[in-house]
Amino acid sequence: MKNIVLSGVVATLLLFSGCSTKEPAVDTKATEKPAVEAQEVKAVETETVASEDSAVNSSTSSSSSNSNLSMSDIESQLSSIYFAFDQYSIDSEMENKIEKASELGKDGASNYNVKLEGNCDEWGSDEYNFALGLKRADAVKKAIVAQGIDASRISMVSYGESNPVCTDKTQACWAKNRRVDFKLLP
């Protein structure tokens, strides 16, 4: 009992002696800002370039209809490739999308590199889904290389389940997230 009272008194003394009423010292020299001298700004000069001196003119454009499309126009024509649950093999339904992507890769997107983005639904561990997304991207890469696209133009990335297009808890929504997307890189 004596030890409990003695411990209580010591704890109380430490509590009150530990609290200080001093105000912290603030270094006012560090907070003062140095004076900034005004600098003179030159007016903006403009220059006009004649159309015949322009780097981009009608003679440099290609005759192919797809080559006149911008990168975003070509990307909008590339459809996602969808996969069955826990699968990375390409269904026969998706083969025509692969062929169309390969044709666009040969014609309109021949100046661009392609990034294949593998995605998964929310089922499975993060590690498993990242591996499955990479396997899906690799399957699409092998398919478009077989169609004549140079493998050195293709890069792959797996987002696993971290890049869903649909967040509902339904079978149809999960099916939309099991995909490979095409992105063009300059």
180 within domain boundaries: yes
pLDDT for 151 equals 92
Residue 64 confidence (pLDDT) above 60: no
pLDDT for 16 equals 66
81 within domain boundaries: yes
Confidence bin at 63 (pLDDT 50/70/90): very low
150 within domain boundaries: yes
Residue count of the chain, please give it: 186
2 within domain boundaries: no
* pLDDT tens digits, one per residue of 102-154: 998 888 777 889 999 999 999 999 999 999 999 999 999 999 999 999 999 99
Residues 114 and 96 sit within 8 Å (Cβ to Cβ): no
Mean pLDDT computed over every residue of the chain: 79
Read off the pLDDT of each residue in 38-51 and give the average, rounded to a whole number.
Answer: 51
19 within domain boundaries: no
Strand 154-160, strand 81-82: pairing: unpaired
37 within domain boundaries: no
Number of separate domains in the chain? 1
59 within domain boundaries: no
Residues 103 and 66 sit within 8 Å (Cβ to Cβ): no
Which CATH number does the domain housing residue 100 bear? 3.30.1330.60
Give the whole-angstrom CA distance, residue 112 versus residue 152.
11
Bridge partners, 113 (sequence order): 185
120 within domain boundaries: yes
pLDDT for 59 equals 35
pLDDT for 166 equals 93
CA-based nearest residue to 155, from 128, 132, 184: 184
Q: What are phi and psi of 113, to 5 degrees?
A: -90, 160
Q: Higher pLDDT residue, 5 or 157? A: 157
The domain of 154 spans 68-185
Helix (H, G, I), strand (E, B) or coil at 179: strand
